[in-house]
Amino acid sequence: MNANAPLNVLAADANPATSLEQRYGAAMPSLGAAPNAVIESLLGHRTVRAFSDSPLPEGTLEWLVASAQSAATSSNLQCWSVVAVQDPQRRARLSVLANNQAHVRDCPLLLIWIADLSRLDRAGEKTGIATAGNQYLEMFLVAAVDAALAAQNATAAAESLGLGTCYIGAMRNHPEKVAQELGLPSDAFAIFGLCVGVPDETRPASVKPRLAQSAILHHEQYRVENEPAAVVDYDQVMRGFQRSQNMKEVDWSAQSAERVSGPGSLSGRDRLVSALRALGFGLE
Ligand SMILES: Cc1cc2nc3c(=O)[nH]c(=O)nc-3n(C[C@H](O)[C@H](O)[C@H](O)COP(=O)(O)O)c2cc1C
């Protein structure tokens, strides 16, 4: 891909019939091929952490942001912003703050998604209307949800262009330092990063299977009965996936419980409430 290449259409997988099988391992009864190229592209998602040196085609950033802005947004408040980091030195500094992840340093474009109530503060200043509601947890949640929906639209758009992405939750490991690096105003929080680039074809990523729908989808009321069998199956599916990727084998249930085993397993984010308050959020 070169910078002057046209932005082209939906890149569906070569073999659409396998998309459900890959998404669930063997656990999903066949629904047949995906009904259209959008769904096919969504089912083909995989996180990409290895990028080629190719630059992004011209216009990529603007199309991704237009896609992001096309997401629904609570009350049309648009409580999010995005900082596009292309300066390699800034990316390197942000990589250090995000647990030294190499892809943060090496991707050509790092998008930092901001849960942003500061624009509403400024709307209040402009109009003389109080914005004390921004001091409540509800408004932090509104901004966080808005930012996530926008980012996922950008991700789907990037993948439709044949690009790869990797979310970076580790951007929350040092919120105040990240805010300083990005020059964020008060009431703005870098909720996660998103690496974007052309996937390195020599180090391709694979579709990672998900839990069976029986563990996730409930009809009318939440029921836990189907979950234990689905989780036992999924532990095996993930072991098979890990084997195929030459990764250490571990049950998903054990790995996932471990991830929330205590404050020490949160990569410093156990102090998020105090960090957010320091950044201006009241969280009342
Ligand atoms: C909000 C969020 C934060 C994430 N943070 C990181 C991260 O810091 N580093 C990383 O390599 N992957 C990160 N990921 C990627 C997940 O590990 C990945 O989505 C998950 O393992 C499922 O794999 P898949 O996306 O390939 O299907 C993050 C994903 C999300 C949604």
pLDDT digits (tens, 9 = 90+) for 59-81: 999 999 999 999 999 999 999 99
**SS3 for 236?**
helix
Residue with CA closest to ligand 1 atom 30: 167
pLDDT digits (tens, 9 = 90+) for 78-97: 999 999 999 999 999 999 99
Sorted by where each starts, the structural domains of the chain and their CATH numbers stand as 47-203 (3.40.109.10), 206-255 (no CATH)
CB atoms under 10 Å from CB of 279, counted, come to 20
Residue with CA closest to ligand 1 atom 6: 168
Q: What is the pLDDT of residue 68?
A: 99
- Per-residue confidence at 33, pLDDT binned at 50, 70, 90? confident
CA distance 276 to 192: 14
* Region 10-31 average pLDDT: 70
- Per-residue confidence at 27, pLDDT binned at 50, 70, 90? low
User: Could you tell me which residues come within 8 angstroms of residue 190 by beta carbon, excluding any fewer than 6 positions away?
Assistant: 83, 112, 113, 114, 171, 172, 175, 178, 179, 182, 184
Evaluate whether 215 touches 28 at the Cβ level (below 8 Å). Answer: no
pLDDT digits (tens, 9 = 90+) for 146-170: 999 999 999 999 999 999 999 999 9
Strands of the sheet containing 109-116, edge to edge, are 80-85, 109-116, 188-197, 164-168
* Region 110-139 average pLDDT: 98
Q: What are the start-end ranges of the E strands in the chain? A: 80-85, 109-116, 164-168, 188-197
Q: What is the pLDDT of residue 19?
A: 87
- Atom from ligand 1 closest to the CA of residue 49: 11
* Region 104-125 average pLDDT: 98
- Per-residue confidence at 9, pLDDT binned at 50, 70, 90? very low
Backbone angles phi, psi at 112, to 5 degrees: -105, 120
Q: What is the pLDDT of residue 32?
A: 80
Q: What is the pLDDT of residue 31?
A: 79
Q: Which long-range contacts (CB under 8 A, 24 or more apart) does 253-258 make?
A: none
Least Cα distance to 68 among 142, 10, 167, 151 occurs for 151
CA distance 103 to 198: 12
Distance 170 CA to ligand 1 centre (A): 10
Is 10's pLDDT higher than 90? no
Q: Which of 18-22, 124-128, 132-136 has the lowest mean pLDDT?
A: 18-22
* Region 14-37 average pLDDT: 77
- Atom from ligand 1 closest to the CA of residue 208: 27
Model confidence, pTM? 0.95
* Region 13-17 average pLDDT: 51
The rounded percent of the chain whose pLDDT value lies above 70 is 93
The rounded percent of the chain whose pLDDT value lies above 90 is 89
Evaluate whether 281 touches 187 at the Cβ level (below 8 Å). Answer: yes
Q: What is the pLDDT of residue 29?
A: 64
Distance 169 CA to ligand 1 centre (A): 7
Pocket of ligand 1 (CB under 6 A): 45-47, 49, 101, 166-170, 192, 208
Least Cα distance to 137 among 170, 114, 115, 167 occurs for 115
Q: What is the pLDDT of residue 26?
A: 72
pLDDT digits (tens, 9 = 90+) for 181-212: 999 999 999 999 999 999 999 999 999 999 99
pLDDT digits (tens, 9 = 90+) for 217-255: 999 999 999 899 999 999 999 999 999 999 999 999 999
Least Cα distance to 134 among 186, 83, 69, 171 occurs for 186
Q: What is the pLDDT of residue 3?
A: 66
CA distance 157 to 187: 28
